[in-house]
């Protein structure tokens, strides 16, 4: 069980941000120069019907500012949402690292966390099939530490030099900018089919991990192997994890596509509302620690970002907790302008030679220069360190700091030698002294040449429904690819992962499984001999890793959304009973009715409606309850949207309960046919009487569960 966090006393970052906050309440409107404005709605003109005058500084200022409001969006991870919070370590990690924020369990380190999709533009949908960014900025007393990770523990490529190619391939195609926020197109799969190292990541990206139910219900990973360094200078390798306390949950693909239409802000809204409602998202911080002597113990290279260390081999120690408890005040100022960088480290944490990480260490500052426009982006309030900044960097666009004194160089005497360099004992950062020896070569290590064994491990570790979803995702994605040769090459690659998987995808595409010709030729320099770079499928010490499956994840009703379909005449007691039971467990209930406004129950009481069938959809909920009442159920039976709502809830394998006459409404839907089918045991469908309590507890505990068994019983028309 997670340990309880102590209440927050003082958040240094919040205090720091407050210095820049503006509040217009009870104030006069002014120009940017502070001059009070008398008329903000009419421009200055030569006569009421005459031309506007250049002299109108109020008009010019307002329009000029507007004209320059936009900045370039992030080249990747453009769409995201963020929140403030804090991190607290459970016990001192001094044995492994001297990082100050990992020493003292009573210390709360402020954090700002941004979640994102990768491929879509800023205005794209949250529910794209995509990797999710999980970037954490720790405002530590020793400066900013950024853990810029994803919700998937591995990556597509082994070397940063291929990153622009990967991203060009996945982004909308350059001739017509189609498709938006989707990998299901020719250029992506063309690149992937020529990049066998991506196959492990592809298994993850085609799994339901790429369709999170909520940012609050996904894991985070630092991906690369990093180093912890303790006070004595002793290093350990470390992999970072974030474990969500609500468990890991996903939606299904059909649902994701529909959410994208019904509420493209689904994840953003979910995060924002959870925090506004005081249901603060929480993750435990996990580490896998590997002594340096074990560097070559695992049959794969710790520097290879397409590999993970199975938790069954090196357990994840949960060493602290992160709580997100405050929404940003201003999306642009905070969420948009925050600048993360894997190179923002503090003493006690250092890099490894992972060639993907090494390239990232260049890219992030570089991209901020074009995105935020100045080397002074560290002075933007959301980015500035809570530890004071003193150095000889000077000037540049939009400089905020007013550096005093004559000397802006080091060494100096005129400034008294200040600012001083800090000894390691005074907290100065000194890079880990790793011995490195080698020829200067443009090459990849032979130890990276195992492209498939962990892809196979991942696929074999999935539950049956999870495997089915991967197969369906590949059928969908490759089915959207127009070039048959690309589909064929992909089938060939999939056969290296799992023959049955390849066959099932091939059958759907009307193709045969055939070996890939010249599989690896494309991955090396023009003069390289492909024979030197053949895949060696390494023997794995395990064939199953249950931690890779979401099937056994913790399930909590907290913050889950339940729809109650109701109309006039609803049995008020039946409605209230389930509403109260759901809310008692921390779930939320919305009354969905034929129209907005209010409905009247069987006792004449008015019940406010939360959403009409027009403005809601089953895909926005986790479960459905049909309360008792003759009149209301008759009215709903006549409504096609109500029937569709039920069918779709069933199709997406969610819990459904029907109380008393609610069963008649259920019978009028497709589910009715399933109920009559004696061979079907109707998992997740609860029919009975709420008055004797028979269905309430079963339904409530089923809310976070998906009953994927239903998918084996044929497709639901919805």
CB of 297 to ligand HDD, least distance (A): 22
CB of 372 to ligand HDD, least distance (A): 9
Sole window of 40-48, 209-217, 249-257, 333-341 interacting with ligand HDD (rule: CB under 6 A): 333-341
Q: Which is nearer to ligand HDD, 221 or 645 (CB)?
A: 221
Residue reference for tokens 């609860």:
686
* Residue 298 is assigned to a ligand binding site: no
CB of 80 to ligand HDD, least distance (A): 5
Indicate the pairing of strand 611-612 with strand 588-593: parallel
Return the residues of window 202-241 that contact ligand HDD according to CB under 6 A. 223
Q: Which is nearer to ligand HDD, 114 or 560 (CB)?
A: 114
Q: Which is nearer to ligand HDD, 123 or 233 (CB)?
A: 123
State residue 431 phi and psi, 5-degree precision: -60, 150
Among 20, 43, 257, 367, binds ligand HDD (CB under 6 A): 367
Q: Which is nearer to ligand HDD, 212 or 587 (CB)?
A: 212
Q: Is the preceding omega at residue 179 within 30 degrees of 0, hence cis? A: yes
Closest residue by Cα to residue 322 from 89, 102, 558, 135? 89
Q: Which of 77, 84, 236, 249 is catalytic?
A: 77
103 Cβ neighbours under 8 A, 6+ residues apart? 89, 92, 93, 94
Among 117, 124, 150, 553, binds ligand HDD (CB under 6 A): 150
Closest residue by Cα to residue 350 from 81, 99, 623? 99
Half-sphere exposure of residue 211, counting CA atoms within 13 Å on the CB side? Answer: 20
CB of 163 to ligand HDD, least distance (A): 4
* Structure tokens belonging to residue 640: 């096609």
User: Are 477 and 189 spatial neighbours (Cβ–Cβ below 8 Å)?
Assistant: yes
CB of 214 to ligand HDD, least distance (A): 17
Q: By CB under 6 A, is residue 133 in contact with ligand HDD? A: yes
CB of 271 to ligand HDD, least distance (A): 13
Q: By CB under 6 A, is residue 344 in contact with ligand HDD? A: no
* Residue 384 is assigned to a ligand binding site: no
71 Cβ neighbours under 8 A, 6+ residues apart? 336, 371, 372, 373
* Structure tokens belonging to residue 42: 């009419």
Indicate the pairing of strand 561-565 with strand 349-350: unpaired
* Residue 96 is assigned to a ligand binding site: no
Q: Which is nearer to ligand HDD, 149 or 286 (CB)?
A: 149
55 Cβ neighbours under 8 A, 6+ residues apart? 44
Element housing 135 (H / E): strand 132-140
Site size with ligand HDD, rule: CB under 6 A: 27
Residue reference for tokens 């939320």:
588
* Residue 371 is assigned to a ligand binding site: yes
Answer positive or negative: Cα dihedral of 462, 464, 466, 468: positive
Q: By CB under 6 A, is residue 305 in contact with ligand HDD? A: yes
Task: State the binding string over 56-95 for ligand HDD (x if CB under 6 A, else -).
Answer: ------------------xxxx--x---------------
Among 315, 343, 359, 415, binds ligand HDD (CB under 6 A): 359
Query: Is 150 known to be catalytic?
Result: yes
List b or e across 316-339, with b for residues whose CB sees 16 or more CB atoms inside 10 angstroms.
bbbbbbbbbbbbbeeeebbbbbbb
Among 300, 340, 351, 708, binds ligand HDD (CB under 6 A): 340
User: Are 327 and 272 spatial neighbours (Cβ–Cβ below 8 Å)?
Assistant: yes
First to last CA, the chain: 40
CB of 131 to ligand HDD, least distance (A): 8
The C-alpha atoms of residue 667 and residue 387 are separated, in whole angstroms, by: 64
Among 5, 89, 147, 148, binds ligand HDD (CB under 6 A): 148
**Integer angstrom CA distances of residue 379 from 33, 145, 365, 568:** 22, 16, 14, 58
Q: By CB under 6 A, is residue 364 in contact with ligand HDD? A: yes
Q: Which of 84, 144, 150, 602 is catalytic?
A: 150
Among 13, 98, 108, 114, binds ligand HDD (CB under 6 A): 114
* Residue 442 is assigned to a ligand binding site: no
Q: By CB under 6 A, is residue 135 in contact with ligand HDD? A: yes
Q: Which residues bind ligand HDD (CB under 6 A)?
A: 74-77, 80, 114, 116, 133, 135, 148-150, 155, 160, 163, 223, 305, 338-340, 356, 359-360, 363-364, 367-368
- Please state the residue numbers annotated as binding site: 74, 114, 163, 360, 364, 371
- Please state the residue numbers annotated as binding site for heme: 74, 114, 163, 360, 364, 371
List the catalytic residues. Answer: 77, 150
């Amino acid at each position: 069980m997670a340990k309880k966090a102590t209440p927050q006393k003082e958040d240094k970052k919040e205090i720091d941000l407050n210095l820049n906050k503006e509040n217009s309440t009870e104030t006069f409107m002014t120009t940017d120069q502070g001059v009070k404005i008398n008329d903000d709605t009419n421009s200055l003109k030569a006569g009421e019907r005459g031309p506007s005058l250049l002299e109108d500084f109020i008009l010019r200022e307002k329009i000029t500012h507007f004209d320059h409001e936009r900045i370039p969006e992030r080249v990747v991870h453009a769409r995201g949402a963020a929140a403030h919070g804090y991190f607290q370590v459970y016990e001192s990690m001094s044995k492994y690292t001297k990082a100050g924020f990992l020493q003292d369990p009573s210390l709360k380190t402020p954090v700002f966390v941004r979640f994102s999709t990768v491929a879509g533009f800023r205005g794209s949908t949250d529910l794209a099939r995509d990797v999710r960014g999980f970037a954490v900025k720790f405002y530590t007393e020793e400066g900013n530490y950024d853990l810029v990770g994803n919700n998937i523990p591995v990556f597509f490529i082994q070397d940063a030099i291929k990153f622009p190619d990967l991203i060009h391939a996945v982004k909308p195609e350059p001739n017509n900018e189609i498709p938006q926020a989707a990998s299901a197109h020719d250029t992506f799969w063309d690149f992937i089919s020529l990049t066998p190292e991506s196959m492990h990541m592809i298994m993850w990206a085609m799994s339901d991990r790429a369709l999170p139910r909520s940012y609050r219900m996904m894991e985070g990973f630092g991906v690369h192997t990093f180093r912890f360094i303790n006070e004595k200078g002793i290093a350990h390798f470390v992999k970072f994890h974030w474990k969500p306390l609500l468990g890991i949950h996903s939606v299904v693909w059909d649902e994701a596509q529909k959410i994208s239409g019904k509420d493209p802000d689904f994840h953003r809204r979910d995060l924002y509302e959870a925090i506004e409602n005081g249901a603060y998202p929480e993750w435990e911080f996990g580490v896998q620690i590997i002594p340096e002597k074990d560097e070559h113990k695992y049959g794969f290279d710790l520097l290879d970002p397409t590999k993970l260390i199975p938790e069954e081999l090196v357990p994840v120690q949960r060493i602290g907790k992160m709580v997100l408890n405050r929404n940003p005040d201003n999306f642009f100022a905070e969420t948009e302008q925050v600048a993360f960088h894997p190179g923002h480290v503090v003493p006690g944490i250092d890099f490894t030679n992972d060639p993907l990480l090494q390239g990232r260490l260049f890219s992030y500052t570089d991209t901020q220069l074009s995105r935020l426009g100045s080397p002074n982006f560290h002075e933007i309030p959301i980015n500035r360190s809570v530890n004071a900044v003193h150095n000889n960097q000077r000037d540049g666009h939009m400089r905020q700091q007013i550096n005093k004194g004559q000397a802006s160089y080091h060494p100096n005497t005129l400034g008294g030698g200040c600012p001083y360099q800090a000894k390691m004992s005074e907290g100065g950062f000194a890079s880990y002294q790793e011995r490195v020896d080698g020829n200067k070569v443009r090459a990849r290590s032979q130890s990276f040449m195992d492209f498939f064994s962990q892809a196979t491990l991942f696929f074999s570790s999935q539950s049956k429904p999870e495997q089915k979803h991967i197969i369906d995702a590949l059928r969908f994605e490759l089915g959207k690819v127009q070039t048959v040769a690309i589909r064929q090459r992909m089938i060939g690659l999939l056969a290296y992962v799992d023959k049955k998987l390849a066959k099932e995808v091939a059958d759907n595409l009307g193709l045969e499984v055939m070996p890939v010709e010249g599989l690896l030729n494309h991955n090396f320099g023009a003069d390289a001999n492909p024979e030197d770079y053949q895949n060696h499928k390494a023997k794995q010490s395990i064939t199953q890793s249950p931690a890779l499956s979401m099937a056994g994840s913790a399930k909590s009703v907290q913050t889950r959304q339940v729809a109650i379909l109701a109309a006039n005449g609803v049995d008020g007691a039946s409605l209230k009973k389930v509403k109260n039971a759901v809310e008692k467990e921390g779930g939320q209930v919305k009354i969905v009715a034929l129209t907005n406004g209010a409905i009247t129950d069987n006792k004449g009481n008015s019940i406010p409606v939360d959403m009409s069938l027009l403005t809601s959809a089953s895909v926005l909920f986790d479960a459905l309850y049909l309360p008792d009442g003759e009149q209301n159920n008759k009215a709903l039976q006549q409504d096609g949207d109500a029937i569709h709502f039920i069918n779709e809830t069933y199709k997406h394998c969610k819990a459904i309960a029907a109380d008393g006459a609610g069963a008649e409404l259920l019978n009028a839907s497709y589910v009715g046919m399933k109920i009559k089918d004696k061979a079907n045991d109707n998992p997740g469908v609860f029919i009975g009487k709420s008055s004797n309590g028979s269905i309430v507890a079963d339904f409530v505990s089923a809310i976070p569960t998906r009953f994927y068994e239903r998918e084996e019983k044929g497709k639901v028309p919805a």
